[in-house]
Amino acid sequence: MLRLELRGEMSRSMIYWSPIYAVILTFIAGMIMFAILGVDPVAAILTFFIEPLNSMDGVAELFVKATPLVLIAIGLSFGFQANVWNIGAEGQLTIGALAGGSVALLFFNVDSPLLMPGMIIAGILGGMAWAAIPAFLKTKYGTNEILTSLMLTYVGLLVLSYLIHGPWKDPEGQNFPESRLFHDAAIIPIILEETRLHFGWIITLFGVAVAWVVMTRHMIGFQIRVIGMAPMAASFAGFKEKHIIWLTLMISGGAAGLAGMIEVSGPIGQIVPVISPGYGFTAIIVAFLGRLHPVGCLFAGLLMALTYLGGDNAQIEMNLPNAVTGVFQGMLLFFLLASDVLVRYRIRFGKATALVAPAAATPPMAIDEEGV
């Protein structure tokens, strides 16, 4: 029989090593997978992870793809640290994109420098509004935010579908379910000539810095960390849990909404039936891979973006199915979770040996006398 046994002292540095182990294991498992598929593993890995970065354009694309991932992941990190599990960033991204896009469409003939800030604010508010529903339900009725936020994702996608099939359909679009193309003032500026790299990347980097400061130096971050690590200590200190639930859902919803707005105003340039290839979900992996730390999320987001680019590249160059991207992302999360478990626990074979080593096997909680 296999058993997991709590390790006495957890190694602090291992917390940061385990993502790196996860990446290495993913590479190895990926190569085995390619070998089984009858593809040269080394060539496949090179095509997947190295080739996309061979050109300036490739690096710019990496940043473009990383922008929504990092932005959403740092937002989610706030919630995850406080044990508020917003799984519906994809829906908040969608509504944020619609809200930001609505400003662009509403003022499609206005050429004002205020348009872009207006779209940004609308995008953030849209994401927040969508996240406010789970926040309200959780604080008022104690519903589980995992379920509500996830289910609202599908509602959000239906709202998108309704709008582009109906009221927002481009009148000159030959009946395609797409909005009109955004005009120049509603397109986020390009920051590197001849690439698609846009100002959203700067916003993201700025977001990383702000999140870092708030998390480590500000009372908000302090409260979030205390609530996540020791909820009783938070109530002892007088931190209000409901405030934190609202705050973290507003931060993560707002970040996702902003990411969605940046997508439609940047690389896409209009509202289309598929705004995101699952950035909102992938960002959950990014957040955990990045140890819920803003800088960690930055690196993890870049790595995750690379799996998207690599997947595209492998599809074109080697005729591999696009599902390879999902497989890599899944493996990465699996190995990360497995490494985390092994950092905390060791595996023991054979039957429980409580008689020999009760100290290690029994948590102290077991001496619950319950008034006897």
Partner 1 sequence: MTEQTPRLELEGITKAYPGVIANNNVSMKIMPGEIHALLGENGAGKSTLVKFIYGVQKADSGTLKWQGEEMVIANPNAARKLGIGMVFQHFSLFDAMTVEENIAIGISPELAAGDLKQRIRDVSQQYGLPLDPTRYVHSLSVGERQRIEVVRCLLQDPKLLIMDEPTSVLTPQEVDELFKTLRHLSEEGVSILYISHKLQEIKDLCHFATIMRMGEVVDDCIPAEESPRSMAEMMMGANLVSPEKPGKAEPGAAHLVVSNLSLASSHQHGVDLKNVNLEVRTGEILGIAGIAGNGQMELMEVLSGEMLVDDQNAVMIGNAPVGKSGPGIRRDAGMGFVPEERLGHGAVPEMSLWENAFLSGSKSMNLMSKGFININGSVDYAQNVVSEFNVKTPGVEHAANSLSGGNLQKFIFGREILQSPGVIVALQPTWGVDAGSAAFIRQSLLDLAAKGAAVLVISQDLEELFEVSDRISVICEGELSAPRPAEECTVEEIGLLMAGISHEKEAAHA
Residues of the shown chain interacting with partner 1 in the complex, contacts defined by CB under 8 A: 217-220, 222, 225-226, 229-230, 232-233, 235-238, 240, 354-355, 358-359, 362, 364, 366-372
CA 67, CA 71: separation in Å to the nearest integer?
6
DSSP 110-152: ---TTHHHHHHHHHHHHHHHHHHHHHHHHHHH---HHHHHHHH
Compute the least distance from the CB of residue 24 to partner 1, in Å.
27
Q: Which of 226/271 has CB closer to partner 1?
A: 226
Q: How far is the CB of 15 from partner 1 (least distance, A)?
A: 11
> What is the chain's alpha carbon radius of gyration, rounded to the nearest angstrom?
23
Q: Which is nearer to partner 1, 36 or 219 (CB)?
A: 219
Q: In the complex, what is the shortest distance from the CB of residue 224 to partner 1, in angstroms, rounded to a whole number?
A: 12
Compare residues 113 and 371 and give the one whose CB is closer to partner 1: 371
Please tell me whether residue 6 adopts helix, strand or coil conformation: strand
Six-digit token string for 268: 């896409």
Nearer to partner 1, 36 or 355 (CB): 355
Q: For tokens 């992870």, name the residue.
A: 49
Cβ distance to partner 1 smaller for residue 117 or 358: 358
Q: Which is nearer to partner 1, 239 or 308 (CB)?
A: 239
Which positions ≥6 away from 236 have C-beta within 8 Å? Answer: none
What angle do the packed helices 89-106 and 56-81 form, to 10 degrees? 120
The CA-CA-CA angle for residues 291, 293, 296, to 5°, reads: 75
CB 332 within 8 A of CB 18: no
Q: Which residues contact 277 (CB under 8 A, 6 or more apart)?
A: 308
In the bound complex, what is the minimum distance in angstroms from residue 81's beta carbon to partner 1? 12
Q: Least distance to partner 1 from the beta carbon of 355, Å?
A: 6
Matching residue, tokens 């009946």: 175
Tell me the closest approach of the beta carbon of residue 6 to partner 1, in angstroms: 11
